[in-house]
Amino acid sequence: MALKSTVYRADLAVSDLDRGYYADHALTLARHPSETEGRLMVRLLAFALFADERLAFGRGISTEDEPDLWLKDDTGRILHWIEVGIPDERRLRRACGRAEAVTLLAYGARAFGLWWEKNAPELARLERLTILALDDAAMAGLESLADRNMRLDCTVQEGQIWLGDAVRTVAIEPRTIQHAGTRD
């Protein structure tokens, strides 16, 4: 018998001072049985960072032809493909061929370091790819906010993110590893 996904609900208020975006979002997230709460919270953080009324979650962790999140225009063209974690380099290469912009929000400092060392030369050639990395302290903070029913406020200013509920606030500053359009 297959295990079912666990449903999480989040009322997310986003104040992105960098982009001038201010909106409330009622989100429903399904956590696949193989997905950790930390990864679920990184997906939620990715939504907050790139919030838009057309931004949508993909069908899930086991779907190869969809990202974790994506933004499409009215014609179905993919404007932004967003991955979380440490995906296969080929997946990112395919995403860059399908979308105008691709962002990876990576986590797991040790595993990411090894992955980056192995894949950096190939990934540096992908001009549409931006890679942001979260440190382990950010991950611990995100996990502390996880709840089946969440009310979260997110403020983004000058690359810094404050995500919190009524009790605690987590300060997060993703490190830019690679920025789209720039190569070493």
Give the whole-angstrom CA distance, residue 19 versus residue 32: 31
**pLDDT higher at 184 or 84:** 84
Considering the domain boundaries, does residue 152 fall inside one?
A: yes
Q: Would 148 be classed as within a structural domain?
A: yes
Copy the structure tokens of residue 103: 């962002």
Does 121 reside within a domain?
yes
- Bridge-partner residues for 81, per DSSP? 70, 102
142 in a structural domain: yes
Q: How far apart are CA 112 and CA 93, in angstroms?
A: 17
Is 159 a residue whose pLDDT tops 60?
A: yes
- 1 in any annotated domain: no
In a domain, 47, yes or no: yes
State yes or no: pLDDT of 24 exceeds 50: yes
Per-residue pLDDT tens digits for 11-21 = 999 999 999 99
In tens, the pLDDT along 41-80 reads: 999 999 999 999 999 999 866 667 899 999 999 999 999 9
**Strand arrangement of the beta sheet that strand 169-172 belongs to:** 21-31, 6-16, 149-157, 160-164, 169-172
CATH number at residue 145: 3.10.640.10
| pLDDT at 182 > cutoff 70 | no
- Pick from 38-42, 107-111, 138-142, 179-183: least confident: 179-183
Q: Cα(26)–Cα(150) distance, rounded to whole angstroms?
A: 10
For the segment 73-102, what is each residue's pLDDT rounded down to a tens digit?
Answer: 999 999 999 999 999 999 999 999 999 999
What is this structure's pTM?
A: 0.94
Q: Does 108 reside within a domain?
A: yes
Q: Determine the average pLDDT of the residues in 128-148.
A: 97
How many Cα atoms occupy the beta-carbon half-sphere of 150 within 13 Å? 30
Start-end of H helices in the chain: 37-49, 89-98, 109-124, 136-145
Q: Which domain holds residue 64?
A: 6-178
Helix (H) or strand (E) holding 84: strand 78-84
Cα separation values, 175 from 7, 60, 132, 159, Å: 30, 26, 5, 9
Q: Which residue has the tokens 């502390």?
A: 144
Within a domain: residue 81?
yes
Question: Do 28 and 60 form a contact (C-beta atoms < 8 A)?
Answer: no
> What pLDDT score was predicted for residue 184?
45
In the structure, what pLDDT confidence band is assigned to residue 5 with cuts at 50, 70 and 90? confident
Q: Report the domain count for the chain.
A: 1
Q: Can you give the pLDDT at residue 59?
A: 81
